[in-house]
Structures are given as C-alpha cells and as structure tokens.
C-alpha cells in the first residue's frame, strides 16, 4: 500500500464509520454507495501549492459528469496541520472559487483533525462532527446540495441532531470508532471565529 493509499483508506474508514455510520451527513451514503466520491491526495507542503491543487480539483469537478464524480475530498496530509492556519486558508480557497467563476456552482466545506467551533474547548465532543483524519477540503456541487436538501425533511435540524448524537456518543465512543489519528492539542487552542465552512449552504 502506497502512502497515498493509506491516506485514502484512513479517510474512507472515517467516512464510513463516522460520517455515514453516525449519520452526520444524511446525504453522504448515496454518493458513497454509487462510487461518486473522488479522493484526491495533495502532497503540498505549502498553502500556495495546496491552492494550486485545489484549483485543479475544482476545474476537474466542474467538467466531469456528476454521475461519475459528484463530490471530491481533497486531502492534504502534509499541509496546514494547525487549525488556525487552515481556517485562514479558507479565504484563499473561496477566492479561487470566485476567480474560476464557480461560486454558485461549487462549494468548499472544511474538515480538519483539530476542527474547533467558536466558543468551544478543543476537547468538546461536538467539534468531532467536522474532524477528519487529515486536513481536508470537501468540494460539493450546489445542484446536488439543493436536491438533497429538498428531499430531506427538516434539513435545518441536521446540525442540532449531530450535536445531540455526539453528546450521546462521548469521547470514549468516538475513540471506539478508531478514526482519529491525532492526539489532543496541548494546550487547547483558544476559541476561533465561526467559519462559513461549518456547514454547506443550502
């Protein structure tokens, strides 16, 4: 197994056990079962190189038929390990989307091993809804989101239901899933500003 294979296997296990297994994203199972999730591993070590890989994947997703590739997970195992740096990078990611004139066509959601919602501690279990094995940019199609939201009763309740699910699960329950490759940050990072990437827009 190559290093990239390992990264993809870790990410796929997290998707299956956490995202789908806990139903954190009710829309994920369908595209996963249909094989429409594309896993792209970036070996970028700088934000500038990661941005170039992001631009490539955005262009690819925009041109490939949705039945073949509905969504992309761009995984960056060697870049932006610090969540604050990753959070800052999202502004550049959004600018790239606008420069490509793909805003309104695609969205970029963010996932990170140390994801932290505003006003929470690092070890708050609710942060784990957005914690992936590696820094990851989730590229989504606006049309697919709109269709999924329209078919789902009370989509506005998803966030609150996820919080309740994680509270019931607890840290021990999350550890039992064996999808967390990281140890807790010491000391905890301070609360950060809410990111527009916390949840996809509908």
- Biggest CA-to-CA distance, the chain: 45
pLDDT of residue 154: 81
139 by Cβ neighbours in 10 Å (0-12 / 13-18 / 19+) ranks as buried
pLDDT of residue 184: 43
β-pairing, 106-111 vs 136-141, is antiparallel
pLDDT of residue 199: 47
Give residue-wise pLDDT tens across range 50-83. Answer: 999 999 999 999 999 999 999 999 999 999 999 9
Two structure tokens written together for 95: 């600018």
pLDDT of residue 182: 61
Q: Of 72, 69, 83, which is closest to residue 188 (Cα–Cα)?
A: 83
pLDDT of residue 198: 53
User: Is this model's pTM higher than 0.95 or not?
Assistant: no
Contact by Cβ (8 Å): 187, 99: no
Work out whether the CA dihedral 162, 24, 10, 91 comes out positive or negative.
negative
At 27, is the pLDDT very low, low, confident or very high (cuts 50, 70, 90)?
confident
Q: How far apart are CA 47 and CA 27, in angstroms?
A: 30
Average pLDDT along the chain: 90
Residue 185 has pLDDT above 80, yes or no: no
């Amino acid at each position: 197994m190559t290093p990239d294979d390992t990264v993809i296997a870790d990410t796929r296990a997290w998707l299956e056990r956490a995202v789908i297994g806990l139903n954190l994203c009710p829309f994920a199972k369908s595209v996963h079962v249909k094989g429409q999730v594309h896993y792209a591993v970036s070996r970028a070590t700088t934000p500038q190189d990661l941005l170039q890989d992001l631009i490539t994947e955005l262009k690819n997703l925009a041109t490939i038929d949705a039945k073949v590739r509905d969504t992309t997970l761009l995984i960056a195992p060697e870049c932006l390990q610090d969540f604050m740096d990753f959070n800052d990078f999202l502004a550049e990611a959004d600018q790239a989307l606008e420069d490509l004139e793909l805003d309104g066509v695609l969205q970029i959601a963010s996932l990170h091993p140390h994801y932290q919602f505003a006003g929470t501690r690092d070890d708050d279990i609710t942060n784990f809804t957005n914690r992936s094995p590696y820094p990851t940019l989730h590229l989504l199609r606006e049309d697919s989101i709109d269709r999924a939201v329209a078919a789902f009763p009370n989509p506005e309740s998803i966030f609150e239901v996820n919080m309740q699910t994680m509270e019931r699960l607890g840290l021990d329950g999350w550890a039992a899933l064996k999808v967390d490759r990281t140890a807790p940050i010491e000391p905890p990072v301070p609360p950060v500003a809410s990111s527009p990437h916390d949840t996809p827009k509908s």
